[in-house]
């Protein structure tokens, strides 16, 4: 089975010249989707596709009806304020639209004259959420993160018995997901009592953290009671974004037993504005490997296809700015780097497991990977890991220290795919800022 087609040709060039600049992240081989409008404008948000430093207005292009067949049907689905209509179509529609856009944006295209007036500067637009997110599930698929966190509470037995058998997840809160640039007040809640029998504490979280994740946007759903087979799971995946699932570690430590995360997680989650399609990531597929000494996935969670190319080489980075660093004009501090290929479970396995009990998934649903930490020092996906649960403060280049996030700190997550001889494919940027708590 080949995932590559003519849209992946590394030699393709666009008449949008900024798309040909090395390492710009949005070459013609990428073409991610998002929802935008002009900054400060009062127009409705609309669907667009990023190309170089521009965004092509697909809602306006749909009015011109340049294509028929699946590509035309997919383009008409972009005449909307979200991507849900497009997500609800088939992979054949997605692929046809991608090919049509690729041809239209290539050097020498006879559609250049029609498309040029529909371009906007990406620096002059603002974003909304790419889709109406009906449901949000966050998983826990980095064994390195799970082990590092478990060691802090169970040094002799960091992983619980089920971890290597089942993709662990919890149902999150879709209503507080925001797009990059989100600013939210520090959460308030209960914390563990100072001693047994005492009343719990109450107030602003003092151990606020980020979590470096990817988000998986679902396309076509399934009927209630219908399972999605592992061999069909990727046909239900529209694309990927970057996700920061902020966490209040002190609230979490008090409330997570017996039913898991609640107020420690539902106050804010931030995603990047661009959704990079599964097809765009095809050149970065890798074999999905499980250590021979580990339990192998149960039959419903395994397939030849998943083993051969179920992993993706996506590089991830966490950066931090503070009120002090911004006032000094200092560059953001890089805190860590990791890679999605090191995850213990694949995207296909998450979709299959989520539906194995008959759960209904719908277009625009979001699955979070959970914190994506790597096996080595410098690859931690959270401050909880970097600082050893606050015991070892990190020193920032401009002289400050951090154990957990302080008010007005900004966390920036980035993700991209690179390989020799191929243009850099960027997933964009996911930035969020912690504001002071609302007084109680």
Same-domain check for residues 195 and 255 = yes
Q: Could you tell me the CATH number of the domain that includes residue 76?
A: 2.30.30.230
- Report the domain count for the chain: 2
Biggest alpha carbon distance in the chain? 76
- Chain centroid to CA 218: 12
Q: 110, 127, 144 — which closes off a domain?
A: 127
Q: Report if residue 271 sits inside a domain.
A: yes
Is 2 within a domain? no
Rounded to whole angstroms, the Cα distance separating 117 from 57 reads: 9
| Predicted pLDDT of residue 304 | 96
C-alpha 311, offset from chain centre:
15
218 shares its domain with 316: yes
My answer on whether 163 and 42 are in the same domain is no
The answer on 171 and 224 residing in a single domain is: yes
The yes-or-no answer on residue 145 being catalytic is yes
Identify the pLDDT of residue 151: 87
Residues 172 and 112 in one domain: no
Say yes or no: 103 and 234 in one domain. Answer: no
279 and 357 inside one domain: yes
The predicted pLDDT at position 154 comes to: 83
CB 39 within 8 A of CB 124: yes
Assess if residue 3 is contained within a domain.
no
> 52 and 163 share a domain?
no
Q: Is the pTM of this model over 0.85?
A: yes
User: The domain spanning residue 178 has which CATH number?
Assistant: 3.90.850.10
Closest CA to 364 of 123, 182, 235, 174: 174
pLDDT given for residue 95 in this prediction? 98
Query: Of 93, 127, 144, 145, which residue is the catalytic one?
Result: 145
* Burial class, 325, CB count within 10 angstroms (exposed 0-12 / middle 13-18 / buried 19+): buried
User: What is residue 1's predicted lDDT score, i.e. its pLDDT?
Assistant: 53
342 and 197 both lie in a single domain: yes
Residue 351 lies in a domain: yes
Clarify whether residues 255 and 277 are in a common domain. Answer: yes
∠ CA(336), CA(337), CA(339), 5° rounding? Answer: 145
| Residue 4 within any structural domain of the chain | no
Q: Which of 127, 155, 174 is the last residue of a domain?
A: 127
Token pair of 436 as six digits: 């002071």
252 in the same domain as 223:
yes
- 304-353 pLDDT, tens per residue? 999 999 999 999 999 999 999 999 999 999 999 999 999 999 999 999 99
**Residue range of the domain that includes 98:** 14-127
Q: Could you tell me if 46 and 100 lie in one domain? A: yes
Residue 131 banded pLDDT, cuts 50, 70, 90: very high
Ranges of beta strands (E only) in 39-140 are 46-51, 54-57, 119-121, 125-127, 136-139
pLDDT tens track for 133-162: 999 999 999 999 999 988 887 888 889 899
Residue 5 is assigned to a structural domain of this protein: no
Strand extents, DSSP E, 163-211 = 169-171, 177-179, 182-185, 188-191, 201-204, 208-209
Mean pLDDT score across all residues of the chain: 96
**In 3-state terms, what secondary structure has residue 419?**
strand
9 belongs to a structural domain: no
pLDDT of residue 156: 83
Average pLDDT over residues 295-301: 96
Question: Would residue 6 count as lying in a domain?
Answer: no
pLDDT digits (tens, 9 = 90+) for 13-53: 999 999 999 999 999 999 999 999 999 888 899 999 999 99
Report pLDDT for 409.
98
Which residue, of 67, 99, 127, is where some domain finishes? 127
Instruction: Give 247-297 pLDDT, tens digit per residue.
Output: 999 999 999 888 889 999 999 999 999 999 999 999 999 999 999 999 999
Q: Which two tokens stand for residue 259?
A: 């039913």
């Amino acid at each position: 089975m080949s995932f590559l087609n003519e849209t992946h040709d590394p030699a393709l060039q666009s008449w949008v010249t900024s798309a040909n600049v090395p390492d710009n992240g949005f070459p013609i081989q990428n073409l991610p989707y998002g929802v935008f409008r002009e900054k400060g404008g009062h127009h409705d948000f609309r669907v667009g596709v990023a190309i170089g430093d521009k965004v092509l207005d697909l809602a306006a292009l749909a009015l011109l009806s340049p294509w028929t067949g699946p590509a035309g049907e997919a383009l008409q689905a972009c005449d909307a304020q979200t991507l849900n209509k497009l997500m609800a179509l088939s992979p054949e529609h997605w692929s046809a639209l991608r090919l049509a856009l690729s041809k239209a944006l290539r050097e020498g295209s006879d559609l250049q004259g029609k498309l040029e007036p529909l371009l906007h500067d990406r620096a002059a637009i603002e974003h909304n959420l790419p889709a109406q997110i009906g449901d949000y599930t966050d998983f826990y698929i980095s064994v390195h993160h799970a082990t590092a966190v478990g060691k802090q509470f169970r040094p002799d037995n960091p992983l619980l018995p089920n971890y290597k058998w089942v993709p662990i997840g919890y149902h999150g809160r879709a209503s507080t997901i925001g797009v990059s640039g989100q600013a939210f007040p520090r959460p308030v809640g209960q914390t563990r009592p100072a001693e047994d029998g005492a009343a719990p504490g109450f107030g602003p979280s003092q151990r606020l953290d980020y979590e470096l994740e990817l988000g998986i946007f679902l396309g076509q759903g399934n009927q209630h009671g219908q399972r999605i087979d592992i061999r069909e799971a990727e046909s239900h995946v529209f694309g990927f974004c970057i996700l920061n699932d902020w966490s209040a570690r002190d609230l979490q430590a008090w409330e997570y037993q017996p039913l898991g995360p609640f107020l420690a997680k539902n106050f804010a989650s931030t995603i990047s504005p661009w959704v990079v399609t599964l097809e765009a990531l095809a050149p970065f597929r890798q074999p999905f490997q499980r250590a021979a000494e580990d339990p192998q996935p149960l039959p419903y969670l395994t397939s030849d296809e998943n083993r051969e190319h179920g992993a993706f080489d996506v590089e991830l980075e966490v950066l931090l700015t503070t009120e002090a660093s911004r006032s000094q004009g200092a560059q953001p501090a890089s805190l860590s780097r990791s890679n999605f290929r090191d995850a213990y479970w694949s995207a296909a396995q998450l979709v299959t497991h989520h539906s194995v009990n008959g759960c209904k998934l719908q277009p625009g649903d979001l699955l979070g990977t959970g914190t994506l930490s790597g096996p080595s020092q410098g690859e931690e996906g959270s401050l909880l890991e970097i600082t050893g649960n606050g015991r070892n403060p990190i020193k920032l280049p401009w002289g400050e220290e951090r154990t957990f996030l302080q008010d007005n700190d900004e966390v920036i997550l980035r993700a991209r795919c690179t390989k020799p001889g191929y243009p850099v494919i960027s997933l964009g940027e996911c930035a969020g800022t912690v504001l002071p708590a609302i007084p109680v």
